[in-house]
Amino acid sequence: MSTTDDDLPVVRTLAELTDLVRRRHGLYVRWSRGPATDLARVSSRDELTGVAMPGLSANPLDIEAWWEDRPVAVWVARRLHDYAHLPHDKGPGVRPWVLAGRETGRGPDNEPLVVDVRPLCWIDQAVIEEARAEVARQGNPWGPLRRTGG
């Protein structure tokens, strides 16, 4: 599929993204410079070893059965909040976008590796801020899944 990053719609609220997750299964969020860049190379690299992986690393948005009838907005907020540090760590131009695709394996952090990628939308920074606020409202200390060098 050929796409330019300008072709994608932008999700501007957590409610809008939550609605998308409720309606559609098999969605992932990817933090990168965008589909136009990613689809040109079609795979991610393991940062530790430099090994090319058989797909793009992404994080699933599907709600797990054990979540039961808990608020979908909290689920989605947590999925975004867990990786909200990536734009800072990876540099300018890195931002989240939603894609559909087929899982082909797992990366070294047990993240899905996705092929047959279909970009759906960008996620606006305002949604990330809403996600942070939603996570903070849960009342338990929680930070992003951030590795620190050792």
pTM here is 0.87
**pLDDT single digits (tens) 123-132:** 999 999 999 9
User: Could you give the angle at which helices 14-23 and 72-81 cross, rounded to 10 degrees?
Assistant: 110
CA 135 vs CA 9, 123, 129: distances in Å = 25, 17, 10
**pLDDT single digits (tens) 15-32:** 999 999 999 999 999 999
Give rounded-to-5 percent helix, strand, coil for the chain. Answer: 35, 25, 40
Are 118 and 101 in contact, with CB atoms under 8 Å apart? yes
**pLDDT single digits (tens) 84-94:** 877 777 778 89
Are 122 and 7 in contact, with CB atoms under 8 Å apart? no
Per cent of the chain over pLDDT 90 is 67
User: Could you give the angle at which helices 72-81 and 125-137 cross, rounded to 10 degrees?
Assistant: 110
pLDDT given at position 16: 98
pLDDT given at position 146: 47
Instruction: Tell me the mean pLDDT in the region 36-42.
Output: 86
- At 74, list the tokens: 């909290």
pLDDT given at position 1: 35
Q: How many CA atoms lie within 13 A of 27 on its CB side?
A: 23
90 C-beta neighbours (distance < 10 Å), count? 14
- Report how far residue 134's alpha carbon sits from residue 16's, in angstroms, rounded to the nearest whole number: 15
- Reported confidence tier of residue 82, pLDDT bands at 50, 70, 90: confident
**pLDDT single digits (tens) 98-121:** 999 999 999 998 999 999 999 999
Can you tell me which residue has the tokens 């909290």? 74
Tell which residue, 62, 79, 71, 68, has the closest CA to residue 131.
Answer: 79
Highest mean pLDDT among 45-54, 73-82, 89-98: 73-82
